[in-house]
Structure 1
Amino acid sequence: MNPQALMDGLITGSMIGLGAIGVTLTYSILRFANFAHGEFVAWGAYFALAVSGALGYLSGSLLTPIGPFSFGWSLPIAAVIAVALTAGLALLVDAVLFGPLRERRSAVIILVMASFGAALTLRNLLEFIFTSQPAYFTKALQIAFPIGGGLRATPDQLLTLGVAAVLVASVHLLLTRTAIGRSMRAVSENQQLSGVVGIDVRKVIRTVWVLGAGLACIAGVMAGLLVQIRPQMGLDLLLPLFAAAILGGIGSVPGAMIAGLIVGLAEALAVQLIGAEWRSAIAFVILVVILLLRPQGLFGRPE
């Protein structure tokens, strides 16, 4: 593989991995595939774009680039606010749609179809508010510099890789070293029994929505910073997100991230070998192969 394609694959894979963590947590605890998760990626990016623009309007100094990066303080501040807004959106969708369906003990297929409807609604609402024209956090050009081994990267790209690594490690520690993390793992094993022994299942479910939506928001901000922001960006990432979640093993946070990197690298390799037009098919191929050969994923356990 071309060294630069390797770097592109790692960057794409880090975005996919962050989004896949939300998919795997939602499925392991709520027991349904949430096809609206990709829209949280897009909404997170647009929330950050709107807040960043408002902050820049209020104080032009916030737009002054930070060191070697292409953005000013308006973007990090906006990203934090966007995480909160995206988490709020996820909680609202759950309260309005998924929560009532769970209370009625609706079949899994009903929840899945409801998530399709939510995805369409959120995507079209984005397009209605922001139009279908691509947007950018910044149009400043950065020059990639060598980092060794024939690899070149811009400061923004290295930052996104570092942020992704820190977030994955933080989520892993949250799940393994904290009380809420232990509660989440217990609920993923048996929700009814967890409620019997005193675990607040509703709190766990809210935490899952907040955590998954927050990570999706960061993935959207990363994608918007390095590529562009579009209402369709969540739809474009949806299949890679599910491919990474299943490849890594449902419920495994490190597995989702590693699988996201694998999917990203596979897409970059496909572009090099067979052309960019086949890139979107790679995630589908990986999904089919893993379902046929190892349905529990690389780090999952067979049920």
Structure 2
Amino acid sequence: MNPQALMDGLITGSMIGLGAIGVTLTYSILRFANFAHGEFIAWGAYFALAVAGVLGAVSAGFLAPIGPFSFGWALPIGLLAAVALTGGLALVVDALLFGRLRGNRSTVIIMVMASFGAALTLRSLLEFIFTSKPAYYTKALQIALPLGGGIRATPDQLLSLAVAAVLVVAIHLLLTRTAIGRSMRAVSENPALAGVVGIEVRKVIRVVWLLGAGLAAVAGIIAGLLVQVRPQMGLDLLLPLFAAAILGGIGSVPGAMLAGLIVGLSEALAVQLIGAEWRAAIAFVILVLVLLLRPQGIFGRPE
């Protein structure tokens, strides 16, 4: 593989991995595949774009680049706001749709079909508000820095990898070292029994929505910063997200990130070997192979 393609694959894989963590957490707790998760990626990107735009209109100082990066303080502040707003959006969708279906003890297939409807609604609403025209956080050009071995990366790309790594470690520690993390693992194993022993299942569900949507927002902002912001960006990442979530093993945060990197690197390799037009098919091939050969994923346990 071309050394530069390796870097491109790692960057793409980090975005996929962050989104896949939300997918795997939602699936392990709520027991259904949420196809609206990709829209949280797009909404997070647009929330940050809107907040950054307002801050830039208030003061041009918010847009002045920070050090070697292409963006000013408007984007980090927009990121924090976007995480909160996207989490709030996820809670609203759950209250209006998924929570009602859970209360009616709807089957898994109904939940999945409802998530399709939610995805279409959220995407259409996004296009109605922001139009389908691509947008950018910044149009500043960056010079890629040589890292050795023929690999080059811009400061924005290196920061994105660092942010993804920090978030994965933080979520893993949250799940393994905190009370809410232990509660989440208990609900994942047996929701009914967890409720019997005093765990607030509704609280756990709210935390899962907030975590998943927040990570999706960060993934969307990284994608928007390195590529562009589009209403379809979540849809484009949806299949790779599910491929990574299943490959890593449902419920495994490190597994989701590792699998995301594998999917990203596989896509980069496919571009080098057989052409960019086949890139979108790689996630589907990985998904099928995992389902056939190891349905529990890398870190999952057979049921």
TM-score under structure 2 normalisation?
1.00
> Partner residue of 1:109?
109
Matched letter for residue 218 of structure 1: V
Shift of 1:68: 0.2
> Partner residue of 2:246?
246
Matched letter for residue 251 of structure 2: G
Instruction: State the secondary structure of the residue aligned to 1:35.
Output: coil
> Partner residue of 2:80?
80
> Partner residue of 2:268?
268
| Correspondence list, 1:2-41, <5 A | 2-41=2-41
Q: Distance in 2 between matches of 1:156 and 1:148?
A: 18
Q: Distance in 2 between matches of 1:264 and 1:104?
A: 39
| Correspondence list, 1:98-137, <5 A | 98-137=98-137
Matched letter for residue 47 of structure 1: F
Q: Distance in 1 between matches of 2:149 and 2:37?
A: 36
Q: Distance in 2 between matches of 1:121 and 1:75?
A: 27
Q: Distance in 2 between matches of 1:78 and 1:132?
A: 21
> Partner residue of 1:54?
54
Q: Distance in 2 between matches of 1:128 and 1:140?
A: 28
Query: Cα deviations across residues 145-186 of structure 1 (Å, max 9, x unaligned)?
Result: 111222100000000000000000000000000000000000
Shift of 1:50: 0.3
Q: Distance in 2 between matches of 1:246 and 1:281?
A: 16
Matched letter for residue 126 of structure 2: L
Q: Distance in 1 between matches of 2:299 and 2:264?
A: 18
Shift of 1:112: 0.2
Instruction: State the secondary structure of the residue aligned to 1:39.
Output: helix
Matched letter for residue 181 of structure 1: G
Instruction: State the secondary structure of the residue aligned to 2:146.
Output: strand
Instruction: State the secondary structure of the residue aligned to 2:295.
Output: coil
Identify unmatched segments of 5+ residues in structure 2.
none
Moved over 4 A (4+): none
Shift of 1:219: 0.1
Q: Distance in 1 between matches of 2:148 and 2:53?
A: 36
Shift of 1:19: 0.1
Instruction: State the secondary structure of the residue aligned to 2:152.
Output: strand
Instruction: State the secondary structure of the residue aligned to 2:134.
Output: coil
Matched letter for residue 229 of structure 2: I
Shift of 1:263: 0.2
Number of equivalent positions: 303
Matched letter for residue 204 of structure 2: V
Q: Distance in 2 between matches of 1:285 and 1:226?
A: 26
Q: Distance in 2 between matches of 1:143 and 1:94?
A: 43
Instruction: State the secondary structure of the residue aligned to 1:199.
Output: coil
Query: Cα deviations across residues 80-102 of structure 1 (Å, max 9, x unaligned)?
Result: 00100000000000000000000
| Correspondence list, 1:1-303, <5 A | 1-303=1-303
Q: Distance in 1 between matches of 2:234 and 2:74?
A: 23
Q: Distance in 1 between matches of 2:28 and 2:87?
A: 19
TM-score under structure 1 normalisation?
1.00
Query: Cα deviations across residues 33-71 of structure 1 (Å, max 9, x unaligned)?
Result: 000000000000000000000000001101000000000
Identify unmatched segments of 5+ residues in structure 1.
none
Q: Distance in 2 between matches of 1:18 and 1:148?
A: 27
Query: Cα deviations across residues 214-268 of structure 1 (Å, max 9, x unaligned)?
Result: 0000000000000000000000000000000000000000000000000000000
Matched letter for residue 212 of structure 2: G
Q: Distance in 1 between matches of 2:103 and 2:47?
A: 30
Q: Distance in 2 between matches of 1:221 and 1:234?
A: 11
Q: Distance in 1 between matches of 2:209 and 2:149?
A: 40
Q: Distance in 2 between matches of 1:59 and 1:82?
A: 20
